[in-house]
Amino acid sequence: MRILFCGDVVGRTGREVVTKNMPRLRRELSLDFVVVNGENAAHGFGITREICAEFYEAGCDVVTGGNHSWAKGEIIPYIGGDPRLLRPINYPPGTPGNGHGTYQLKDGRTILVINAMGRVFMDAIDDPFRTVDGLLRQHPLGSVTAILVDFHADATSEKVAMGQFCDGRASAVVGSHTHVPTADHRILPGGTGYQSDAGMCGDYDSVIGMKKEGVIARFVTMMPGERMQVAEGEATLCAIFVETDDATGFTKWIAPLRVGGKLAPVWPLPAMQPVPAA
């Protein structure tokens, strides 16, 4: 199964770089399934039903969330009725929506997508390790064709720990939240693909997606200043490509993908040349 995970989409230009490029990425990479983290898609904070519809129409199959999942209050009554929109699974019982979903491809293959959130430097929520462990015990590889974990966390140590914790039980564990792509993509000893952070889909002439002037002023003056504003220059699409073995569910190939914007382009399949910026 060929899976693409797009990192945190930040603002309008982040949405545009994803929706504009997704049809050809699905075609040129023969993608079977696409997951995009959308928790920053609405002006940098939260997501709306209209943005979900944009992603789905462009060819994204599932939208995951994180600590900004609830930034737009209108999403609260909506999320429970949209099985393709996830929020972190380790929110307390009774939280609207779902933290995981099993999805069937047209050819009958199935994929379990899990959205979990870390606790180091983050909100004090339930234990992600215990929660993910319980779900992987209920739905082992073999009962589904592939399992993808989006671990939305701040500390790289917590992300690496989650990857090792899931090794041999998930197809891939990919980190989100920090908006900077890491260079540690690899297949762990048990067969699980891993990368600490996919990066963001947004303007990198910024401070992690926000206009740089205001953020720099906060660091220099130590004063709160005005509300941070989303940078809206040309965006880079940052994603992770994973190809799994349908017989085992384990990763055969994992590689980054980068298209457009300020970062150097990277194409995930070595036999093909990088695509030009859109």
Rg of the Cα atoms in the chain: 17
Q: What is the DSSP track for 42-98?
A: TTTS---HHHHHHHHHHT--EEE--TTTTSSGGGHHHHTT-TTBB--TTSPTT-SSB
Longest dimension (CA), the chain: 57
Indicate which residue of 43, 68, 139, 152 is catalytic: 68
Is 100 one of the annotated active-site residues of the chain? no
CA dist 67 and 194 (Å) reads 21
Ramachandran bin of 64, using left for φ above 0, alpha for ψ from -120 to 50, beta for the remaining angles: beta
CA dist 197 and 92 (Å) reads 25
Tokens representing 127 are 């234990």
Known catalytic residues are: 68
